[in-house]
Amino acid sequence: MLNHTLKVLEYRFILDRLIYHSRSVPGKRRAGGLLPYDNIESINAALDLVSEMIEIFEFDGGPPGLEFDDLGEKLERARSSGDIFEPKELLEFASFFGVVRECQKIRSQYRKLKALLAGLVYPANLHEEINNTVDLSGEIKDSASPELKRLRKELVAVKAKLNERFERYLKSDTSSYLSDSLYTIRDGRYVLPVRDTDKGRVKGIIHDRSSSGATFFIEPSETVELNNRHRELETAEREEINRILRHLAEMLYFNLEAIKEDVVILAHLDFVAACARLSREVAGARPEFSDDGEHSIVNGRHPVLLLKIEEGKRNEVVPLDLRLTQEENIMVITGPNTGGKTVALKTTGILSLMAASALFVSADPKSRFVLFDNIFADIGDEQSLESSLSTYSSHLNHIKTALEKSNENSLVLLDELGAGTDPEEGAAMGQAVIEYLAAKRCFAVITTHQGKLKVLAGNVRGVANGSMEFDRQHLRPTFVFRAGVPGSSYAVEIGRKLGLPTRITDRAWELLDQKERDLTLLIGELNQKSVQLSEELK
């Protein structure tokens, strides 16, 4: 699929929404890299997973929490550098193993998801060992090893003795030499804050001096032995903790390949859950693919429009019904400015891309899709300042690509064909393009203001007319697409309604040839009857 097509059809917006709905780092990465599939078997396999996930959301409250980092990548880096993991990092692994365990419990009725998760390996012993080693706050438990328990017990006793000794100093005559009523620790040793003027009155080792020079931090001689033992125990504790962490790191390295595979599987599950959330967000339906070449969108709404407006107002997005077949494979849409032609074009394109990407579509389940091998789009003002191309030349470049590379299994979307140049020449070029696409038997939806292109329906095989409905009474578009009826720009009529001088509007009407006037009147009458019928059916 061309990057240009993905850009102008706002496919990236859909991917960004999937990324938002993903919970894990590798799941978000997978969502951001989604591209359309090239075969229906893969699409249906992916859709089966999403269908079951939607059931899990509806009946089981959703899948287990899937917030995790790319732990396989983290393990690879650590093993390469010989690093060990901090206790809080070990908690990440423990949390991930918990997710693996919970995902293995997904009910057997979800056969496709169970098959996806069949490759999960739950390292029960490793999970248990981490949980027995690290508490929920990320600290190493005393019970992590008998030696650590013994060291910490003695360390508590030594600290208690040191605290008792130094509390006595604070209550003895020594306190009169201190600059503060609290003792402190310097370089891991308990010390007293002694005033500069009294430092000779306290026997001991000077460890530090305050920045002002007014205080010396002195370790009393009688506490040196206890302080030494305190330091020895702290060193032994650190060494034992490092031994424990090294042991856990080795266990993780031993399980590296299984963990990497678990990450891949759960990232896939997370991605499937994101697809299900997106489907629920846009009230999506599972896309069905036709085997007779019919591409029909029933009650299709542009998903980007749905997602950009308030949830309570989404019903205000007017649905699109548009059908392409082997017999009528090119739809030429005409109508007034801001009447919804481009939205209809984009809706056709983005829903086709979503269906090909195994995403539920914001359309009726009765819709049927063709899996196109490519979609070509020329939409909007694509003027290229870098290459000094005019708007018209830029359009022609995209059209040229479509003409060269399209085939009978391609979809071509052209917005305002024939615009941006002399009207006569633009109409001639537009007709030639349509005739060329018709000869190639490719599918196409084309919008245009060129009146001469309306008459191609019936004269060129495969070409059909469509239009955007316009309420002539209130001078406003209804955004409803009508197949089989060409549209009009209503330029003269709108001018009259807006109060332009009669001399101008009458003269403009006279300048139209008789056939054009008759066609405009007929189109207007058909359009107004369509509006009235729509109102009656509400």
Domain ranges of the chain: 3-123+255-280, 146-230, 288-489
3-state secondary structure of 45: helix
| Contact residues for 383 (Cβ-Cβ < 8 A; gap 6+) | 389, 390, 391, 394
Among 142-156, 282-296, 413-427, which is the least confidently predicted range?
A: 413-427
What pLDDT score does 219 carry? 94
Query: What is the percentage of the chain residues whose pLDDT exceeds 70?
Result: 92
What pLDDT score does 273 carry? 98
The band of 394, judged by pLDDT with boundaries at 50, 70 and 90, is confident
Angle (CA) 415-421-426 rounded to 5° is 65
- Name the CATH code of domain 288-489 (choices 3.40.50.300, 1.20.120.1080, 3.40.630.10, 3.40.50.360): 3.40.50.300
3-state secondary structure of 367: coil
Beta partners for residue 206, in sequence order: 218
What pLDDT score does 492 carry? 75
Give the tokens for residue 239. 């060494």
Q: How far apart are CA 415 and CA 395, in angstroms?
A: 9
Query: Cα separations (Å) of 234 from 153, 227, 241?
Result: 12, 10, 10
What pLDDT score does 497 carry? 76
Examine domains 3-123+255-280 and 146-230 and report if their fold is the same: yes
Tell me what the mean pLDDT of segment 413-426 comes to.
85
Tell me what the mean pLDDT of segment 450-455 comes to.
80
What tens digit of pLDDT does each residue of 294-307 get? 999 999 999 999 99
HEC profile of 374-406: EEEEECCCCCECCCCECHHHHHHHHHHHHHHHC
Is it the case that residue 333 has pLDDT exceeding 70?
yes
What pLDDT score does 452 carry? 80
What pLDDT score does 313 carry? 82
Q: How far apart are CA 98 and CA 257, in angstroms?
A: 18
What pLDDT score does 167 carry? 93
What pLDDT score does 484 carry? 82
Please name the CATH architecture into which domain 3-123+255-280 falls: Orthogonal Bundle (1.10)
Query: Cα separations (Å) of 494 from 188, 456, 470, 472, 510?
Result: 87, 26, 11, 8, 16
Among 49-53, 200-204, 389-393, 451-455, which is the least confidently predicted range?
A: 389-393
- The continuous run of DSSP H or E covering 297 comes out as strand 295-300
Select from 287, 269, 281, 280 the least CA-distant residue to 112: 269
Please name the CATH architecture into which domain 146-230 falls: Orthogonal Bundle (1.10)
- The continuous run of DSSP H or E covering 160 comes out as helix 146-171
Q: What is the pTM of this model?
A: 0.87
The band of 508, judged by pLDDT with boundaries at 50, 70 and 90, is confident
Is it the case that residue 412 has pLDDT exceeding 80?
yes
What tens digit of pLDDT does each residue of 39-88 get? 999 999 999 999 999 999 999 999 999 999 999 999 999 998 888 999 99
Is it the case that residue 385 has pLDDT exceeding 50?
no
Tell me what the mean pLDDT of segment 139-144 comes to.
96
Instruction: Sort residue 293 into left (φ over 0), alpha (ψ -120 to 50) or beta.
Output: left
What pLDDT score does 457 carry? 84
Is it the case that residue 374 has pLDDT exceeding 90?
yes
Q: Which residue has the higher pLDDT, 452 or 357?
A: 357
Which residue matches tokens 């009669």? 502
Is it the case that residue 522 has pLDDT exceeding 60?
no
